Structure 1
Amino acid sequence: MGVCWGPVVRVLVLQAAWALGGGQVRYSVPEEAKAGTVVGRLAQDLGLEAGEPEARRLRLVAQGRRASVEVSGASGALVVSSRLDREELCGKSAPCALRLEVLVERPLRVFHVELEVTDINDNAPLFPAARKNLSLPENSPPGSRFPLEGASDADVGANAQLSYTLSPSEHFSLDLQRSEEYREFLFLVLRRPLDRETMAEHRLVLTAIDGGRPSLTGTMELVISVLDVNDNAPQFNQSVYKVQLPESTAEGTLVAQVNATDPDLGMYGEVIYEIDSVLPPSASDVFSIDTNSGEIRVTGALDFETVTFYDLHVKAKDKGSPPLSGHCKVLVEVLDVNDNAPEVWVTSLSVPVPEDAAVGTVVALLSVSDRDSGANGRVRCAVWPAAPFGLVATFAGSYSLVLREALDRERVSEYEVEVRAEDGGAPALRASRGVRVPVSDVNDNAPAFAQAVYTVLARENNAAGAELARLWARDPDEAGNGRVSYSVAEGVGGAAVAGGGWRAASSYVSVDAESGRLWALQPLDYEEVQVLQFEVRAVDAGEPPLCGNATVQLFVVDENDNAPALLPAAGGGPGGGAVVAKIRAVDADSGYNAWLRYELWEPRGKGPFRVGLYSGEVSTARALEEADGPRQRLVIVVRDHGEPARSATATLSVSLVEGAEAALGGAAAAAAAAATNVWLVVAICAVSSLFLLAVVLYGASRWAPRAAVLSGPGPATLVCASEVGSWSYSQRQSRSLCVAEGAGKSDLMHFHPSLLKGCQTRRLWWWQSRRHYLLLLRVAFC
């Protein structure tokens, strides 16, 4: 068309609307602008610096129909991308405004741009037909008016303002009338009477000229035939019929009944009706007319969203030869009914949403529309379920789906959100759109053990690397945030070992970082450590990592791995007592493994001596006789109650002597008895004091805060033996006081583990008053 758009574009860009004040930018561009034409400096108007448009992904969001514009990634300018045809986009609507949504990320924001496509004169006026035939009676009086169908122009405004000219004619002229509703009525006016015999046919050219610059024209040829005789045409009782029909009108419904009369007589006065033309032309099959009655009925579907107004030209002809006709218009206005449900589109979706996202975070952008008008097209939107998301209206027909409440992926990892739209019709129509919103994990849960304290029993002498227990901590987070590794906490916990000192727990045990398997680094020795208390730490792989702790109390279970150890034996006292000596033994184990019993191994049978099963007291089983010989050798076996049992053997040599040795032995025995009595009093006092101290310490431990149970040197242990049996208990590096009870005279003994080293032989004197013998006992023990 030879039009230079450069100056026009610059003027329109300078007239681009107010920037960002109300969150909206307006531009204007003429239709048919070439691809690449800059509509406006969008990035600059949005306040973005150089380079930001590309970095923040400035882009347009399509909303169902082609926008024909795009954002230049490098410059951030809004440019024409394809042909803009205002008539295709908006039809006869003016102004033609396209509503665009512009997104920018980091942070996500939405801007609304209104692009007005201005009209240019690119459509020429167009008549319904290139040729129109008219038949006029020759007796038509001057001033007669014959309606003509005007041209239409797809443009708007001044470009669609039409004027008409008629080729020069002495008989005809044009009359153009405009009603208050801006409708045009074009008439062919007869200026001079017609004479069929002079000119039977007139050919004229009707030209329509629009108001554009330069103007465009359209033509239609008028072929006017002059008829003879029948000089009265039918006349309608009104020139315009106005009807309103709802778009839901069923087929067959009566629209209107037109009526025309002809004053002629006979066949020249009989009228038949027909629809001469319909605007728009595509609606020619929507209406029909009864040729005899003039009833106009609906024969097709009405759709307010497609055509809101119909213009029917009705012609009434008589049956003359040639027939005469009259014309009227039937204007049908279509009324909207609520026959279109709302439509919901998701224009942008930002998922997954991190579970620590702030309240107000935009999750999705939605566009809602309804093709109906008025209340039928007003849409209300809501989101279901109501939590944790909500809707915020950002622009006409645009909503943001935002976060209303804090998220917790461990409680709900994904939401199915439904956006529901309802129009204002009666009854209302509804539509919905589902949005799937997954929630991404953040490291907000520390590993948690199933229990705060684990009690583990482990037998001593276990193999190095043996599994002691399995610990497990749960972390509800996912992926690395929930992947747990285990370790023994350094510097926390340990054990006090026998002989003094402290050893860290990490020297005894280790935990597998992945499986939580607790295993021994070395064999455990109950006699060295009984209780090992330490902490196991579970750490996840999040950033930053979170951790949880559990306390492990490892109790070492004793095994029978120590044989009884013999102590120096004690001799019996003089008098009628039957006790010759006491065999003393200790066992480093505990419980049944340290419960000792004594058996006389040799001699077997009915010897003169016997040994207490649990006391270890060697006593006479009967009175000694000369036949028993001057020397007796006793072999005594000491066994514990372990499985299997362990044992030790003691050998006693008993010699029988007479005479001066007896007197000497008696004096020694008396002195020993006196000394024994003194020590007995001291021992009783010491034991009483220890017992009172033990009671006080026990009460304090019951009320004191709980502490780790550690093995190590403890208070002295009191072990008593008698004929009826008792427990014997020993502890390495312990000191014990033992009081022997029996039929013979009591004795007091103090021993120390150093006495167990090597083998020794001692003489013990025993006085038997009945026979006045003095026996010499030699005890060999190891």
Structure 2
Amino acid sequence: MFVGIYVLLFLLQACLSVDLMYRIEEGKSPDTFVGDIAADTHVMESVPRKDQNRITFSQLQRGATGSNLLFRVSKKTGKLYATQTLDAEAMCNHNTECYRIVDVAVQKGTTPIKILEIKVIIQDINDHHPEFPDKRTDIQFSEGDVTGTKRLIPNAIDRDVGIENSQITYELKKNASDPFVLFVYKSVDGASKLGISLEKKLNREIKDSYVIQVIAKDEGSPPQQSVLDIYISVTDVNDNFPLFTRKVYNVSIKNDPSKTSPVVILKAKDDDAGKNGKLRYYFSSRTSEIAKTHFNLNEITGEIFLHKKFQFGQDLSYKLYVEAIDGGSPPLSSVAMVLVNVINLQNHAPTIDINFVSASTENHVGISENIEVGSFIAYVKVTDLDLGENGEVRCDLYHDKFQLQNLGLKKYQVIVKNSLDREKEDRYDITVTCQDEGSPPLHSKSKFTIQVLDVNDVKPQFSKKTFNFVIHENKQPKVRVGYINVTDPDLGPGGKLTYSLLTNNKHFLPFQISDYGLISTVMSLDHEFQNIYKFQVLVKDNGIPSQNNLVNVMVKVKDENDNAPYFTFPSINPFTLNVVYYPHHTKNITVLRASDGDSRENAFLKYEISRGNDKQLFTINHYTGLFSFSRQVTKHDAGSYELEFAVKDSGNPVLSATTTIFLALTVSNRSSEMLNALNVQTDDKIHLNFLIIIVSVAVSVSVIVTVSVSVCIIRCNDEAGTMRRGEVISSTKQKHLMCSSSFLATSCIDVFVARPTDPDKTRTAQLTELSRVSHLGNELENGHIVTALGIDLQAATDVVYQEIGAASCGKQTGKKATLVVPECHRQMSILSSRTDSIEGWNQGDMAHNGDILGYFIRGPQTF
């Protein structure tokens, strides 16, 4: 009865110290469901519904991998499962409750809610049957034995650990006339002692031997059994058991070994005489090995001594099972239990035990750099078995990133105090210090390392906001353009970059980019086709989620002199030109025009007469292409001329083209006769015929002027509208104003005026406005100022204009330019060029500025 109450109180105390208790039968396959922690603790009911999906359950583990764990916890559902097939016999002692304690941390996100201690009882199944040491045993009875004389026989052992499965009942099978009954004696350690008791006196002369059977049957379901055959011979035997004065001894001792003062003295007596009543004392097999190493038992006197001091951390409560055996044959014995409580009077430093939430290697644990502040990292248990103030402990952790929080008596948790950034620091060495309140105080330290694991939280960074590159045209494919310098401090896939090219339009982009950011061409580039490429480079890493960034890239294609100039007038070769020369009129004949597909200096053209001007009668302006007489023409100069003209660009090397003009020159003297007739008139009289002529000419001129101006205005408006619809004329094209005595009154010749429209393209003048010049008669006097469409024009003596390709005349100041028109153009209208700023023009041709400016710019304006 006393033992049952003690066991009940022990079990009740064990149950009260845990939060949950589950049961699982041994032998179940891995992943067998054990229990629903979330449902049984009602933790979800205390959490708002919106946060319930953030509740996680983690089994606290110790060691490197947790491979020896018997159970696992579902992180999301909180359900507990077995990880392997459990064997109660291998895990637990005989005839005891077999269980394991599982610590589970409940967290909301990374914030801890509580730590549960769960007791899992491994229920024994009846998979072993009772076994006797031998299938047969021999015993003896003395014929002088009285009724009730007993003889011990071996008891059966059931290796099951469950109380019911290991509980054995015995049954005697015999003939009805056999004078024996089965005797079962329960010892204090729970084992059964079997004996055969004599019902009546034996008479060896009538029968000297018997054969009976003892059937051992456990209380499992279904029950298991075994049979022991007993052969009884009738002789005299030892029939009295040793008896202790008490079955249980309870003593308390100091942790101070002594060879003179015994812990306790056991006494037992045996009513047998002689050697059958002489006793010896031994520790039974139920006594633990650690207890045997610290206690000595005197076999003869029954004295127990503490001969070895217990070290700090060892258990301070022990059970000693002492067996008293007599000298009979067979010997009889009995067992007494000694409960020893060791009183520790020394002060020991506390012991620190740290378990991590995530998997760890020894004292090294990894956490993500994006872990939230307040997240639970480690669980700290402190053990100090000293008494009084010697066992009171206080722990501290001093760190700017991590904090130690008290969870109760000698329990703490390590949490994140401030946010982490692996790119700034990727490793922290943490020290937990615990100190007791003894005198002097003793302390312990436990160190562990936190490795901050990388998260892809940094996008690629460029060294520039815009990358500008320059490459010459006509290069072979796969020419290097330049590198895109970019960095990403993330590790692993988060720092491995992938490059790609992006363009805002659907045009083909003649570039490619390598895996390390090198831009190269995929084909030969043509400046004349496109001189500037604008696109973007997208750089993204391979992290999860991926980070990316964009940077602008501009590649300028530098012009090479790869296009030879060609004549646009004359457009055929050879060309025939009939010229009638009138004395006292302009010396200008015509304007040769040429074009060049290149730009800048490679498209700045110079004209010359290369052959046929043996009389030096003709000259050509090198820059405007104005072809004129170089001196006074006489009748002796009349005739045919075969002239070869050349046009050259200013590139390196110089490219050129030639054309031939067959010129037929006729010299007339009509102007001289008319002038002589007019000169004989008197100053004070106007001849009637002359008056009629003047009136007729005035009327004709008025009609012609009105019609010509109207036509030119309409054409200018139409062409200006066309230009506004996007027909931009390339700045590299050259147009010339052509004037000659052979082109008379109503001819209109196009003139293109340069106006930059894109601020990014101010370095090359673009031709975006179209004006028209109307050639009408000889009514205007030299130097007369004409205003057309609000723009000032001024007459001059020469053709004035070659549009600038590569050549430049300085820097635009923002003032309005005035174009000077040859005197051969009697009436005209022209649109002035806009005064947008044009900077960065080529300064290499400034030697020709004076010549050019002398033709077409008057006043202080500059470009």
TM-score (norm 1): 0.50
